């Protein structure tokens, strides 16, 4: 897999998480959100826990993604933060995010 396609997978999972939050926000405790792992493995279906404020900070960062601990990869990705629930991983800046299909 190229760096670009790894990033595309994480970018796709980010879109899923944004949608989960939009749909679930009125129904859930905002300090106990369950989101999909944003690791580059397209078949990964693991969930991770995050608070609403943690998620908001993450959504402001286009190139940082949240993975279940242990799902971070080496190579071009860099771990920028680590908690009991998730690992934040950044992609290099020269990778262009996947544009949504028209
Ligand atoms: Zn994963």
Helix, strand or coil for residue 102? coil
Return d(Cα 96, Cα 80) in angstroms, integer. 20
pLDDT for the residue numbered 97: 55
- Ligand 1 centroid, distance to 46 Cα (angstroms): 6
Tokens standing for 45?
A: 């279906």
Q: Residue 65 pairs with which residues in a beta bridge? A: 89
Q: Indicate the domain borders of the chain.
A: 3-90
Helix, strand or coil for residue 6? helix
- Ligand 1 centroid, distance to 95 Cα (angstroms): 20
Residue owning tokens 């994480």: 10
pLDDT for the residue numbered 20: 85
pLDDT for the residue numbered 56: 85
- Residue by residue, pLDDT tens for the chain (102 residues) are 666 677 788 888 999 998 888 887 777 777 788 999 999 888 999 999 998 889 888 988 888 999 999 998 877 789 999 999 999 999 887 655 556 555
- Ligand 1 centroid, distance to 30 Cα (angstroms): 22
pLDDT for the residue numbered 10: 87
- Ligand 1 centroid, distance to 25 Cα (angstroms): 23
pLDDT for the residue numbered 79: 94
Complete DSSP assignment for 41-99: -TT---EEEE-HHHHHHHHT-TTEEEE-TT---STT-EEEEE-SS-EEEE--TTPPPPP
- Ligand 1 centroid, distance to 14 Cα (angstroms): 12
- Ligand 1 centroid, distance to 70 Cα (angstroms): 8
- Ligand 1 centroid, distance to 86 Cα (angstroms): 10
């Amino acid at each position: 897999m190229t760096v670009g396609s790894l990033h595309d997978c994480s970018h796709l999972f980010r879109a899923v998480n944004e949608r989960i939050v939009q749909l679930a926000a009125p129904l859930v405790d905002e300090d106990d959100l369950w989101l999909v792992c944003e690791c580059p493995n397209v078949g990964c279906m693991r969930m991770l826990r995050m608070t609403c404020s943690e998620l908001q900070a993450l959504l402001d960062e286009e190139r940082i993604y949240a993975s279940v601990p242990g799902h971070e990869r080496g190579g071009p990705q860099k771990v920028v933060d680590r908690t009991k629930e998730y690992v934040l991983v950044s992609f290099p800046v020269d990778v262009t995010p996947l544009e949504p299909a028209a």
